[in-house]
Amino acid sequence: MRRIKNIMVMTVMLMALVYLPGCATTAASMYTERATMGFTTAIHQDLISLPKPKEKIVVAVYKFRDQTGQYKPHPAAVSFSTAVTQGATSMLNKALEDSGWFIPIERETLPNLLNERKIIRSTMMQYQAQGDNSENLPSLPPLLYAGVLLEGGIIAYETNLVTGGFGLRYFGLGGSTEVRKDQITIYLRAVAVKNGKILKSVSTTKSILSREVNFGIYRFVRVKRLLEAEAGLSTNEPPSMCVLEAVEKAVYDLIIEGIEDGLWTLGNPEDINSPLIQKYLKEKQATEKIVTFDNEGNLVAVKDIE
């Protein structure tokens, strides 16, 4: 009898450690959690801390699309929900504004903007026709135009790049854990509006990590007396947050690459030695390699770019 009690006590304790904190958090959040200002990515602080430009660049983003064409996997039926967010254009405009280097102008909903301006002109004409203080009406200013056009999109979403786990069971008592790694890739390029030349192109990747922990017991404690219990908890990185981080990293890289190539200028030339810029240059040097193959396609050497 004491053995049965020990098994049951141990089971309850393990279930409390693994499952109950998650349940308590979920239950509490259903009734007490309020809307917040949004999450902040790991790269956001670096993005807003970059040295200031000599002059902000007016840029236009028409559409930063999901080019993967992938849908969410579903075990039982076809799902028409996309694997990644369709709001990457809004994320890119926000990152451009937060960086302090660009002045993004509205182009995604340009027809709506033009229609609203038509309404303003029509209203002005009606006031002028009626002669109701038409001389005091301000003229409608022209729209801003961009010298640089930003293009690109989410070009890849790979799933199950890394999968693994660990499990242990002894006399019907045990648990397991599983991990999975997905990856998202983004390309961003700056195009000169006057001649269509691609000024710079950058790419970034971000991993999406998922983890699941399970615990269970399945054991006969007495004749015709079966004890069975299960508990589990899973955590997943939000794909939209990973897309936002990859977008902000792309803007961050584009700014520094443009400074290095002389596309745009720092407000203080001495800021080229700032820790953030030097950190990126070291990261770039460690990432970029020269790969050499022989005539048969075999790998010969991998060298750093000097």
Per-residue pLDDT of the chain (306 residues; tens, 9 = 90+): 555 555 555 555 555 544 445 544 544 454 566 777 777 888 999 999 999 999 999 999 999 888 787 766 665 555 556 777 888 899 999 999 999 999 999 999 899 999 999 998 888 888 777 766 656 677 888 899 999 999 999 988 888 888 888 888 887 788 889 998 888 999 999 999 999 999 999 999 998 888 999 888 887 777 778 878 888 888 888 888 889 999 999 999 999 999 998 899 998 989 889 899 998 888 887 776 665 666 666 665 556 555
Close Cβ partners of 41 (under 8 Å, ≥ 6 residues apart):
241, 244, 245, 248
What CATH number is attached to the domain comprising 158?
3.40.50.10610
> Which residues are registered as beta bridge partners of 154?
66, 186
For residues 99 and 198, state if they share a domain. yes
For residues 269 and 279, state if they share a domain. no
Q: Mean of the per-residue pLDDT values for the chain? A: 81
In a domain, 232, yes or no: yes
In a domain, 139, yes or no: no
* DSSP 8-state assignment for residue 296: T
Whole-number pLDDT of residue 30: 47
Whole-number pLDDT of residue 33: 67
For residues 280 and 255, state if they share a domain. no
In a domain, 117, yes or no: no
Quote the distance between the C-alpha of residue 226 and its chain's center.
47
> How crowded is the C-beta side of 282, counted as CA atoms within 13 Å?
7
Question: Among the residues of 41-109, which ranges form H helices?
Answer: 44-48, 88-99
For residues 297 and 181, state if they share a domain. no
Close Cβ partners of 304 (under 8 Å, ≥ 6 residues apart):
285, 286, 288, 289, 290
In a domain, 136, yes or no: no
For residues 303 and 166, state if they share a domain. no
Nearest Cα to Cα of residue 246 among 180, 295, 176, 182: 182
In a domain, 26, yes or no: yes
For residues 249 and 202, state if they share a domain. yes
Whole-number pLDDT of residue 27: 44
For residues 180 and 216, state if they share a domain. yes
The answer to whether 151 and 254 have CB atoms below 8 angstroms apart is no
Supply the pTM of this predicted model. Answer: 0.77
Q: Please state, in angstroms and rounded to a whole number, the distance separating the CA atoms of residues 153 and 188.
A: 7
For residues 187 and 71, state if they share a domain. yes
The answer to whether 149 and 171 have CB atoms below 8 angstroms apart is no
For residues 284 and 204, state if they share a domain. no
Range of the domain at 301: 274-306
> How crowded is the C-beta side of 118, counted as CA atoms within 13 Å?
6
The total number of structural domains in the chain stands at 2
Q: Output the CA torsion 21→23→29→30 (10° steps).
A: -170
